A and B are shown apart, each in its own frame.
Chain A
Amino acid sequence: DQQVKQNSPSLSVQEGRISILNCDYTNSMFDYFLWYKKYPAEGPTFLISISSIKDKNEDGRFTVFLNKSAKHLSLHIVPSQPGDSAVYFCAIKNSNSGYALNFGKGTSLLVTP
């Protein structure tokens, strides 16, 4: 039973364009949302997060949008760079229930020159 879904296994974007990665969740009790980036043979590295009291958080080229009514989260990268090519995982938690981060299966982003 997948509580966190990333329905696009892969995405290809041209350098300089916007990359939009999407994530849907089913549990309305989730209240903290993170994006991690993972290169091959490395562990995930934290990218950006947002709490349920906000609907947008921006950090440089990265912006996360949260639509609680739709239970939808998205990560925008603009402009995209070849070094952004990696697997992106959304990770979500319910701060009032346990300590687990619930990860999606990931979206593999390829930014082409």
Chain B
Amino acid sequence: EAGVTQFPSHSVIEKGQTVTLRCDPISGHDNLYWYRRVMGKEIKFLLHFVKESKQDESGMPNNRFLAERTGGTYSTLKVQPAELEDSGVYFCASSQYRAMNTEAFFGQGTRLTVV
């Protein structure tokens, strides 16, 4: 069974440009999460989808970030326009249930560098 896959694995863009990150969760997982880790800091929660609905987007830093999950399958995270402080590793995770003892499976992450 395929795990959580993220694309691209690396992206280098200039300040002011737009970047779209994609996450394909494990098939059948209704819950999808985005996290990011800025260099040397904690992994921070960004948002949580249940199917196509945003359940919790309290971690989204500002309105330059737009996450979508049309059809409740894969999700995209768009940064527009990108700023230097957006550099970091963006992780996606999925889980079948919301229960707290249910494992969330993480992708390998997308390393975003804004120059």
Question: Do the two chains belong together in a single complex?
Answer: no
